[in-house]
């Protein structure tokens, strides 16, 4: 038997486009003599459809797509994910289902049993868990088919669940497993994913065919990395990351397990590829092409500009340089050098005159009050106004350049430098920004070295540096990582050796600036705990100890 894996990029709610892509893949696999082709979780609708699932018409269009797909299964079986209605009066209205279709007929419809409701997942909001389990008998083989999380409770060890779906089908003695998934990317996810799949194969001693999405859906990025496992617990083959591919595997060869092929990319390679795809799909799936960026001469805007030019093409990126009376000369010259390295166009708009006019208009109100953060924020908001004007006039999308460290502690100005349609590096701590910049420059100097070497500064007042307001990023980022990603509270951090006063100060900055994060652009997710849908904190609260 030959099994094809279709690792494809879908658009949420694009039933016509998704169905056309699925049918094309079916015929391609049929041409390659495959007996079965497997698609990813909820591939008909795209993942995650979220509250689109509450529209009856949305579900009906998914059902219509399944009917169209059935017409193309005369010579090949199709394993595909789509929501299906729950006919029972009790329970949620829908199931998250996987269909096994052959010769125009639904042979089996297996529902997902383990519905993740944590971090970015919210499946129990929409779906009823499966209570019955079965297998498919096809061409002399017994096939267990299941959906993503249903392999993540091996031996009932996961405290979130009370059932192990694979154990439920063991009495049928399946010959192999097909698991269809929608497993979002973060830079450690491939390692976790492999550990879970390996444990399943070692427990059940049968081949496993695992298919994952690729592509970005707003802030969520799916990396692919679909895999085939031999019964000996080794990866027979791992498919590419961040790229569509259809590949056919011979079950007999997989069972022998005489070869193994596994990818082991490093953290920065994965993050670089993920952000590239995140930008590309955000623009492409919205039908947009051009981006505008406020280029300050600092590392954050430089890195964002490089990533945008790589993803969209240099001809589709425009940089706006907006120096003030506080800007250093090298901020402009470094930015111009970067623009030249990338081949992007740029404009220079000096903001001192605009700032002086606003200052004059506010003088009757402000009187003789001293210069403070108010005047700094005015500069940031002038810049936000200008780049948003360019965005509106030419239909470009403003890319936000704020990093995760700044986003965490509120070191940014609402309606100023926090403006934008998409936050590109908002899930990278400042230390990771430096790391990614050095990675990008690994073969040749793209980001001018002076941008990387100089001390970070917002340049909103004379001789200003980030360390005037923040601890060194090496210290700040470690505390933020432990608090945000690892959910270590104040006492935990103090027990790790961090200064109690510093811990209290940083955690207070994080918590009181939640209101800013609620108003900022979606952030491309590359870590285990990004700001956005996966981290839900109250704006009003007093948790500090």
> Looking up tokens 């797909």, which residue turns up?
69
Q: What is the secondary structure of 394-463 as a DSSP string?
A: HTPEEEE---HHHHHHT-S-TTTTT--SEESSTTS-HHHHHHHHHHHTSSS-SS-HHHHHSPP---SSTT
Task: Output the six-digit token pair for 343.
Answer: 């081949």
Rounded Cα–Cα distance for residues 57 and 59 (Å): 5
Task: Output the six-digit token pair for 356.
Answer: 């002086």
Annotated catalytic residue within 21, 41, 310, 459:
41
The verdict on whether 112 is a catalytic residue reads yes
Half-sphere exposure (Cβ direction) of 283: Cα atoms closer than 13 Å: 24
Burial of 289 (0-12, 13-18, 19+ CB in 10 A): middle
Half-sphere exposure (Cβ direction) of 181: Cα atoms closer than 13 Å: 29
Quote the distance between the C-alpha of residue 225 and its chain's center: 15
Annotated catalytic residue within 21, 112, 280, 516:
112
The verdict on whether 41 is a catalytic residue reads yes
Annotated catalytic residue within 21, 123, 128, 148:
148
The verdict on whether 259 is a catalytic residue reads no
Stated as kind and residue range, the H or E segment containing 39 is none
Task: Output the six-digit token pair for 10.
Answer: 């879908």
What is the phi/psi pair of residue 175, to 5°?
A: -90, -30
Catalytic positions? 41, 112, 148
């Amino acid at each position: 038997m030959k099994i094809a894996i279709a690792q494809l990029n879908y658009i949420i709610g694009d039933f016509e486009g998704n169905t056309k892509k699925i049918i094309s893949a079916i015929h391609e696999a049929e041409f390659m003599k495959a007996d079965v082709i497997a698609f990813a979780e909820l591939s008909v609708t795209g993942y995650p459809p979220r509250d689109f699932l509450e529209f009856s018409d949305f579900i009906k269009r998914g059902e219509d797509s399944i009917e169209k797909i059935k017409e193309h299964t005369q010579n090949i079986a199709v394993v595909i994910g789509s929501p299906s209605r729950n006919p029972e009066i009790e329970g949620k209205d829908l199931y998250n289902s996987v269909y096994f279709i052959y010769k125009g007929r639904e042979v089996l419809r297996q529902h997902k049993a383990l519905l993740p409701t944590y971090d970015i997942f919210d499946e129990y909001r929409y779906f009823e868990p499966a209570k019955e389990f079965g297998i498919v008998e096809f061409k002399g083989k017994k096939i267990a088919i299941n959906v993503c999380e249903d392999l993540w409770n091996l031996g009932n060890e996961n405290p979130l669940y009370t059932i192990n779906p694979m154990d439920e089908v063991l009495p049928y003695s399946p010959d192999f497993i097909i698991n269809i998934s929608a497993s979002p990317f973060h830079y450690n996810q491939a390692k976790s994913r492999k550990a879970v799949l390996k444990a399943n194969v070692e427990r059940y001693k049968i081949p496993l065919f695992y298919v994952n999405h690729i592509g970005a859906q707003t802030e969520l990025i799916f990396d692919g990395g679909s895999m085939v496992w031999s019964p000996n617990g080794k990866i027979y083959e791992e498919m590419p990351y961040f790229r569509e591919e259809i590949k056919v595997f011979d079950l007999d060869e997989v069972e022998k397990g005489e070869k193994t092929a596994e990818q082991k990319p490093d953290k920065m390679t994965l993050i670089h590829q993920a952000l590239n795809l995140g930008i590309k799909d955000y623009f492409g799936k919205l039908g947009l092409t051009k981006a505008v960026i406020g280029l300050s001469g600092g590392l954050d805007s430089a890195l964002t500009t490089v990533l945008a030019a790589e993803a969209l093409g240099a001809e589709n990126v425009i940089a706006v340089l907006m120096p003030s009376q506080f800007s250093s000369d090298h901020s402009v010259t470094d930015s111009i050098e970067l623009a030249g390295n990338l081949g992007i166009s740029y404009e220079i708009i000096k903001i001192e005159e605009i700032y002086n006019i606003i200052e004059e208009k506010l003088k009757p109100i402000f009187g003789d009050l001293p210069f403070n953060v108010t005047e700094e924020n005015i500069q940031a908001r002038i810049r936000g106004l200008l780049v948003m004007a360019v965005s509106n006039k030419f239909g470009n999308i403003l890319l936000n350049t704020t990093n995760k460290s700044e986003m965490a502690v509120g070191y940014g100005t609402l309606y100023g430098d926090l403006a934008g349609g998409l936050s590109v590096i908002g899930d990278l701590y400042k230390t990771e920004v430096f790391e990614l910049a050095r990675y990008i420059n690994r073969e040749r100097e793209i980001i001018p070295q002076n941008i990387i070497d100089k001390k970070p500064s917002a340049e909103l007042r004379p001789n200003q540096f980030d360390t005037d307001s923040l601890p060194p990023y090496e210290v700040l980022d470690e505390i933020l990582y432990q608090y945000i990603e690892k959910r270590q509270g104040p006492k935990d951090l103090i027990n790790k050796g961090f200064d109690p006063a510093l811990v209290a100060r940083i955690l207070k900055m994080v918590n009181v600036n939640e209101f800013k994060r609620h108003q900022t652009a979606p952030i491309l997710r590359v870590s285990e705990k990004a700001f956005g849908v996966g981290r839900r904190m109250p704006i009003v609260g007093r948790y500090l100890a």
